[in-house]
Amino acid sequence: MEKIIIDCNQVAKKFISYKKKPGLRGAIYSLFKRNYIEKYAVKEFSFQVKQGEMVGLLGPNGAGKTTLMKMLTGIIVPSSGEINILDYSPSKRDKIFRKNIALVMGQKSQLWWDIPAMDSLLLLQKFYEIPESEFIKKVDYMAKMLEVTDLLHIHIRKLSLGERMKMELMASLLHSPQVIFLDEPTIGLDLVAQENIRNFLINYQQSTQCTIIITSHYMSDVEALCDRIILIQDGLKSFDGPIEQFENILGHEKEVSFSFTSPVNTKSTIFNNLDAKWNNNFTKVDLRVPENLLREIGLKVLQEMPVSEFNTEKMPIERVMKTLMKNPKILTKKP
């Protein structure tokens, strides 16, 4: 039986703020009377993660992803509920617990800007009490995997964003954490850098069997790395399951693309109720076709229109996510 590494039970986080009227009068008024506002960033959130799992935590901006990640790592304390990670309560900030987790935030750096990456790693070696032989072996292994061996002695501020992100990963994994939290690790990176980071994480996880939770707005990250998705909307868990099940939330449909040798009639009844997306000169269309109608509709288009090329694929996760963000109630309508 696989060991439960993360156990999150009915966790909630409430923030209290107050409204202040503008200007000096408003400031003076607020000294005597304040209108407090209570807002739950996370509400009654429960889930479990087994050892070796790679889980994608998805949701729109402001849904509560980062707040949940900060509670899981002990940065902030839950208002209610319980979190157990590696048999520790994160909010107690136990030293052993902190030495067994890592948090990588794509928008924040833990490296010192004005010194070379290797100097930062040496400092972290002392913080985490890593033996010299293990440190040298670990740095050499990760530097080769990330192809940054020649960059270790260059000041962080002189590196590109992608190179800095690789150094951030090295710094976070230096102490061989059992649980890794990645908060948008590929934000702002170009396509090649994103792919390099993803490949590194896949190889690293396979070799160490660590547990990873990742948040990202790049659906390609989630598709490449995760087998399971947890969706958070307005602080509540609205989905938790395999990525294949998530792709079928909108139904068992295929995305079909047709290209034509000349413009076609976009008003044709063939395209009714298929969410047709046309290019500017009406020579290409993307359709969302139910699997049971795929053969019938495909034959009609091929017979009646000048098709030059077509292809079909399963409903991309990005399209599912966009639809859910525009209409969150879709999930509540599902049986």
H/E stretch holding 190: none
Residue 8 near residue 83, CB atoms below 8 Å: yes
Residue 167 near residue 148, CB atoms below 8 Å: yes
**Sheet of strand 253-260, all strands in order from the earlier edge strand to the far edge:** 277-278, 284-290, 253-260, 307-314
Domain spanning 252-314: CATH 3.30.70 = yes
Mean pLDDT value across residues 41-50: 93
Q: How confident is the model at residue 121 (pLDDT cuts 50, 70, 90)?
A: very high
Q: What is the pLDDT of residue 329?
A: 65
Q: What is the pLDDT of residue 10?
A: 94
Question: Does residue 335 register a pLDDT over 60?
Answer: no
Give the C-alpha separation, 70 to 57, whole Å: 13
Give the C-alpha separation, 321 to 249, whole Å: 10
Give the C-alpha separation, 95 to 129, whole Å: 12
Determine which of 146-150, 224-228, 271-275, 321-325 has the lowest per-residue pLDDT on average.
321-325
Mean pLDDT value across residues 204-225: 87
pLDDT higher for 273 or 323?
Answer: 273
Q: What is the pLDDT of residue 315?
A: 58
Give the C-alpha separation, 309 to 298, whole Å: 12
Question: Does residue 200 register a pLDDT over 70?
Answer: yes
Residue 111: DSSP 8-state = S
Instruction: Please spell the DSSP secondary structure of 27-56, one letter per residue.
Output: HHHHHH--EEEEEEEEEEEEEEEETT-EEE
Give the C-alpha separation, 64 to 82, whole Å: 17
Give the C-alpha separation, 266 to 250, whole Å: 24
Give the C-alpha separation, 130 to 198, whole Å: 26
Mean pLDDT value across residues 285-309: 86
Q: What is the pLDDT of residue 50?
A: 93
Name the token pair of 318. Answer: 């990005």
Q: How much is the pTM?
A: 0.77
Q: What is the pLDDT of residue 319?
A: 67
Q: Domain residues of the chain, as ranges?
A: 4-246, 252-314
Query: Which amino acid makes up residue 208?
Result: T
Cβ neighbours around 318 below 10 Å, total: 14
**CATH code linked to domain 4-246:** 3.40.50.300
Q: What is the pLDDT of residue 1?
A: 61
Question: Does residue 45 register a pLDDT over 90?
Answer: yes
- Residues 58-81 pLDDT 10s: 888 888 888 999 999 999 999 999
Give the C-alpha separation, 62 to 108, whole Å: 18
